[in-house]
Structure 1
Amino acid sequence: MKPVSELLKNRNSTVHQVSPSVSVFEALQLLADYGVGALTVMENGKLVGVVSERDYTRKVALQGKNSKETKVADIMTRDVITVTPSTEANACMVLMSQKKIRHLPVLDGTKVVGLISIRDLMDDIIAEQQQTISQLTNYISS
């Protein structure tokens, strides 16, 4: 498999972010607007957490909290597991599986340069398999 930097080249490089001081409701609106499952939580240019749909369901909805009154800081995942652009995609898959997470921020030093999801990794695996099938089919046909 390829390094994360290759996966990032094939998609929009925008890293959607939110401040820890905004309401969970505002963060949910951003998730819906961007069509993503997680946002990086940034404060003073530094990654301080990740907030996801899973955080919302487990820490707000199931606990009967109000999403307009609860702040992102109250529900975000603080101990963020990150990777670098040179991390191999298969290492990301292992990490996601072991830690039971679906999103990995990609850091180049302290700068967030991307957010890889399990979907990104699965899409890459499917594309590689389709390419292999095509090559094998061409080999057999010739």
Structure 2
Amino acid sequence: MRPLLELLKRRPPGNWSLRPNDSVFDALKTLSDHNVGALMVLDDGKLVGVFSERDYTRKIALAGKSSKDTLVRDIMTAQVITVSPQVRTRDSLALMSQKNIRHLPVVDGETVLGMISIRDIMNDIIADHEMTISHLEHYITS
């Protein structure tokens, strides 16, 4: 399995993020605009949280609050689990499964490199398996 840095390099450029003082409504619009399920919350470039669809549904929709009147900092997940860019995809998948999370920020020291999703990891694992199958088929027919 590959290091996460390789997955990040293959992605289109752009790490979308929010600021703690953004409204939840604006955060939802950003999620929708980029077709993602979570965004990193950065304060002066420092990772301070993650905002996800889960945060919205559990802390706004089900609580009867207004997304226009609530700030991201009030509902974001502040205890963020992160990984280094050298961590391999299989280990990341195990961590995500163990912690019941779907998004994992990748940081190198204090530098935020990006965020991977469980979909990114599954796509990588599937591609790896397809390549193995192709090599085996070629070996058998040669």
Shared fold (TM-score, shorter chain, > 0.5): yes
**Which residue in the other structure is 2:76 paired with?**
76
Deviations 1:109-132 (A, max 9, x none): 101111010000000001001101
Within-5 A mapping of 1:1-142: 1-142=1-142
Unaligned runs of 5+ in 1: none
How many Å apart are 1:90 and its aligned residue? 1.1
Q: TM-score, normalised by structure 1?
A: 0.97
Unaligned runs of 5+ in 2: none
Aligned residue pairs, count: 142
Q: TM-score, normalised by structure 2?
A: 0.97
**TM-align CA RMSD:** 0.8
Deviations 1:15-67 (A, max 9, x none): 11111111100000000001111111011221100000111111111111111
Percent identical: 58
Partners of 2:65 and 2:74 in 1: how far apart?
11
Deviations 1:75-96 (A, max 9, x none): 1000000001111111111110
How many Å apart are 1:12 and its aligned residue? 1.9
2:21 aligns to what SS in structure 1? coil
Question: Structure 1 segments of 4 or more deviating over 2 A?
Answer: none
How many Å apart are 1:13 and its aligned residue? 3.5
